[in-house]
Amino acid sequence: EADIYQTPRYLVIGTGKKITLECSQTMGHDKMYWYQQDPGMELHLIHYSYGVNSTEKGDLSSESTVSRIRTEHFPLTLESARPSHTSQYLCASSDLSGSTDTQYFGPGTRLTVL
């Protein structure tokens, strides 16, 4: 079944640790996105990609980095986690060839940095 997956769903980690949030989609979509969302608040775009080897920074400045080596995989990495990184991170994908560009979202990773 075509879907979009995120792991881990919940992560509690200490300050200074390096973490990678995983995102994979089986829909063959070209575009993928990472959003940061505090509980009950709006989404902030932090990274996006149009396809393999394409990555762009979003509207919200972020200390994270992303890579897009395979179409289906778009991991997000924090080299040194800080308490200010505590938030929910949502991954999404969309079909670049489709005119409406409907986004399909993963379940999210809730990150807590102590």
Site string for other proteins, 55-94 (x = CB under 8 A): ---xx------------------------------x-x--
Q: Coil, strand or helix: which one is 37?
A: strand
Of 1, 14, 40, 70, which lies in the binding site for other proteins, with binding defined by CB under 8 A?
A: 40
Strand partners, 20: 77
Q: Coil, strand or helix: which one is 16?
A: coil
CB atoms within 10 A of CB 14: 9
Tell me which stretch binds other proteins (CB under 8 A): 16-24, 61-69, 72-80, 105-113.
Answer: 105-113
Cβ 89 to other proteins shortest distance, Å = 13
